[in-house]
Each structure stands twice: as C-alpha cells, then as structure tokens.
Amino acid sequence: MEASQEITAQLAAMDDWRSETLSRVRALILEADPEVVEEVNWRKPSNPAGVPCWSQGGLICTGETYKDKVKLTFPKGAQLEDKAGIFNASLEGNARRAIDLFEGDTLNARSFKALIKAAIALNTKPKAKAKPKKGK
C-alpha cells in the first residue's frame, strides 16, 4: 500500500474530530504544493501504523494524533518566519516548532499554507558552496 493510502486508512480508522482535523491539514498541505510527498515514518510497537509525514526536498512536517490533540511538528520550524504566530508549541528549542490543535480549534488556512511554502523553500534552497581556503 502506498503512503497516501495508508494515511487515508489511518484517518478513516480514527473517525473522530482528530481525523477531521488531520484530513483538513493534509488537504491544506497538498493545496499549498501538490508536489509534496506523503510518507509514513516511525513505526513502532506502540504505534504500528506510524506517523503521517509530508516532505519535499526534506521533511516539512509530521502529523501526530494524541488523545487530546493533533500535533504538527516542523523539524526546521525555528528557521521559519511565523508572522501569523500559528506555532504554539515547542517554542523554546533551536530547531523544531509545532502547532497543537485541540478539539474545536481552527487553523488559519492562508497562514498555514504560507508556512508550508516557506518550509519547502527552506528545504529546496540551494546549499551554499564552501569557499576554498586562500593559499591552497
């Protein structure tokens, strides 16, 4: 089964507000850039279905479901400009940022898609070449 089919099956199996929330997030990610690749990572005995992930040129974000929330983690979130202030978790770290969505929360679609596009731009930005040392 392809990752996108696995994610669809995971969402159907939950059948509650978390499924609806993660389905909406997934749709916004794919609206932001239809070239985004869906993956399922980090399978383990406590979570055999794994974690839905979206990438392009590197990991953009993960979508984990917990009993009380849906957590969207951006591994390079600290490097992204968040003008709308939608990151609301993992704010202290030097790398990650996250968005915790609880039942009844709404996500600003325009700001979220801008964040997805910024994460893709960061992942696909050409790497600077190391300058040769002088005298060699």
CATH number for domain 3-124, candidates 3.40.50.1860, 3.90.1150.200, 3.40.50.300, 3.40.605.10: 3.90.1150.200
pLDDT in tens, 69-98: 999 999 999 999 998 999 999 888 899 999
Task: Provide the residue ranges of all domains of the chain, joining segments of one domain with +.
Answer: 3-124
What rounded mean pLDDT belongs to the chain? 91
Instruction: Write the DSSP symbol of residue 135.
Output: T
Task: Give the tokens for residue 54.
Answer: 């979206």
pLDDT of residue 122: 94
Helix (H, G, I), strand (E, B) or coil at 55: strand
Amino acid in the structure at residue 104? G
pLDDT > 90 in the chain, percent: 72
Assess whether pLDDT exceeds 60 at residue 19: yes
pLDDT of residue 104: 95
